[in-house]
Structure 1
Amino acid sequence: MKISKAAAAAAVAVALSLTATACGGSKKDAASDGGASGGAKDKIVVGIKFDQPGLGLKTPDGKFTGFDVDVATYVAKELGYQPDQIEFKQAVSAERENLISNGDVKFIVATYSINDKRKERVDFAGPYFLAHQDLLVRADDTSITKVEDLNKKKLCSVTGSTSAQNVKKNLAPEADLLEQGGYSECLTGLENKAVDALTTDNSILAGYAAQEKNKGKFKLVGLSMSNENYGIGLKKGDKELQTKINAALKKMVEDGSWQKAVDKNLGPANYKNEPAPQITEGS
């Protein structure tokens, strides 16, 4: 049977249309895999802090800087994502478990201390950093060298801080505790001599002290009033992702990237970091 040229052309057009549709559908399906399970990846959503200089900070021009950001970027790279495929989402302390369990983020790197209460709702990889509760004082202050020196002095921290309560209840009960809405207010008070010290994790204190505008104004006392093992939070039961993140953290330490990130982000405050901790989660 003879087929007209017009009919043949129409058949070819239909065939090409079907092929294009099939290819388009396949690409969409592959790109929608935003997890760490392999296959083509579009993006990955990672939770970080937006307001902690040196750790997790969103700058006025929309960029992200800090040690936690560097760790998150390294881990995402090992999972198959380039920096432009990472979407950083703000993870305030009170919402971290909800963000993970609701699937709003793949994992969280946000000065997230591992403890039993949190492990009831989420799993952790790591730890990747060991911090200690410390004090930040003015650079020229020689009157505070140990926690007992806070008695009769003014101590500042954020409202509801467990660090401040630890000092007030257990270490220096006669300290005059002032609670503020944020660490910036405490820093202003410290600079203006309205308060004598600021307390929280030494990593957070070092981040603030290392800011360009604060260089030379403050110093860490160098105390270890508690141990805070920072972990990477992820969905409970996701052992595959936990194993992959642990492997990425080990590699980051072994190739020197971990220490470089510490020095770059916290070094200007003369921060003396602990060695990278042994990974215990998932083992």
Structure 2
Amino acid sequence: MKLRKASAAVAAALVLSVTATACGGDSSKDSGSGSGGGGKIKIGIKYDQPGLGLKEPGGSFAGFDVDVATYVAKELGYGPDKIEWVETKSADRENALARGDVKMIAATYSITDERKQKVDFAGPYLLAHQDLLLKADSDIAEGTDLNGKNLCSVAGSTSAQNVKDSIAPKANLKQYSGYSECIAALQSGAVDAVTTDDSILAGFAAQSQYKGKFKLAGLKLSNENYGIGVKKGDSATLDKINKALEKMVKDGAWDKAVQDNFGPANYKNEPAPKIGNVVK
């Protein structure tokens, strides 16, 4: 009798197991590939970059990086209401991914060999170029007269060092935590130039309060390949993001995002880069 009862119990357990699997109880299924598993996805962006990543007064978010990340998240199974935007400053991007604070980062995150030692990159999804933003009446000639002048950049970025290495080794570097602080310093005269990617500078210059006050120097001091950063070794997420980016370009959503965010600034963007093609 005891043996029969045990056999019946085992049989019942097997039936329950099969039933659970048939009803979608497979715990190995990736929650990011369907409806997002009912949870949310945390995405790191900038909060202070008009045209790219900006937190607006009403609490909404706008910009090219935001549009790209929103499209990618949807392809991973997360609608706009399932996205939690997390402010990720330049100096903290690698740490935010390593800590697991965010699943991915789309924050004007240039792909470099040094950064690839710490994180993995999907993309690139935009090719920008480093430039200088000057006051409209500045007499700095194409960025060549920056020696002895005050040059502003953001802590954690590579832009200022590029300028010092290439055209102005004696420029006085001023570093702030955000680009908006650099722009305010340029407007007040506390600095003579701001350096970062032309896409970022164009976004600021196009804002209504700054219209006509600034100009781009028109330099192409570097190639900035924007990638979406993920935690080192997360190849599954990386592959899904790359497929989403390819689809975004193919269906025209990438071109629309460029026009929506950079069109007002008359920004001359490069064509959509090919996934994996990092321009040196």
CA distance in 1, matches of 2:36, 2:66: 23
Are 1:115 and 2:94 matched, yes or no?
Answer: no
Cα displacement (A) at 1:159? 4.8
CA distance in 2, matches of 1:154, 1:138: 13
Cα displacement (A) at 1:64? 0.8
Indicate conservation of the 8 Å contact 1:215/1:269, yes or no: no
Deviations 1:70-104 (A, max 9, x none): 00001111122211111111222233223223333
Aligned residues: 257
**Partner of 1:150: helix, strand, or coil?**
coil
Are 1:133 and 2:133 matched, yes or no?
Answer: no
Paired residues for 1:168-187 under 5 Å:
168-187=164-183
TM-score, scaled to structure 2:
0.80
| Structure 1 pair 46–182 and aligned structure 2 pair: CA distance change class (3 A) | closer
Indicate conservation of the 8 Å contact 1:157/1:164, yes or no: yes
Cα displacement (A) at 1:215? 2.0
Cα displacement (A) at 1:124? 1.1
Q: Which moved more, 1:178-187 or 1:101-110?
A: 178-187
Indicate conservation of the 8 Å contact 1:219/1:269, yes or no: no
Partner of residue 155 from structure 1, selected from 151, 173, 197: 151
Show the counterpart of 2:68.
71
CA distance in 1, matches of 2:157, 2:112: 16
CA distance in 2, matches of 1:230, 1:158: 17
**Partner of 2:269: helix, strand, or coil?**
coil
| Structure 1 pair 35–121 and aligned structure 2 pair: CA distance change class (3 A) | farther
**Partner of 1:262: helix, strand, or coil?**
helix
Indicate conservation of the 8 Å contact 1:35/1:44, yes or no: no
Indicate conservation of the 8 Å contact 1:121/1:236, yes or no: yes
Show the counterpart of 2:229.
233
TM-score, scaled to structure 1:
0.79
CA distance in 1, matches of 2:93, 2:175: 23
Larger radius of gyration: 1
Indicate conservation of the 8 Å contact 2:89/2:178, yes or no: no
Show the counterpart of 1:259.
255
Partner of residue 184 from structure 2, selected from 184, 188, 205: 188
Share of identical aligned residues, percent? 64
| Structure 2 unaligned spans of 5+ | 1-18
CA distance in 2, matches of 1:72, 1:180: 26
Cα displacement (A) at 1:41? 2.5
| Structure 1 unaligned spans of 5+ | 1-21
CA distance in 1, matches of 2:247, 2:200: 25
Please report the RMSD computed on the Cα atoms of aligned residues, expressed in angstroms.
2.9
State the one-letter code of the partner of 1:104: D
State the one-letter code of the partner of 1:190: L
Cα displacement (A) at 1:207? 1.8
| Structure 1 pair 205–246 and aligned structure 2 pair: CA distance change class (3 A) | same
CA distance in 2, matches of 1:265, 1:215: 16
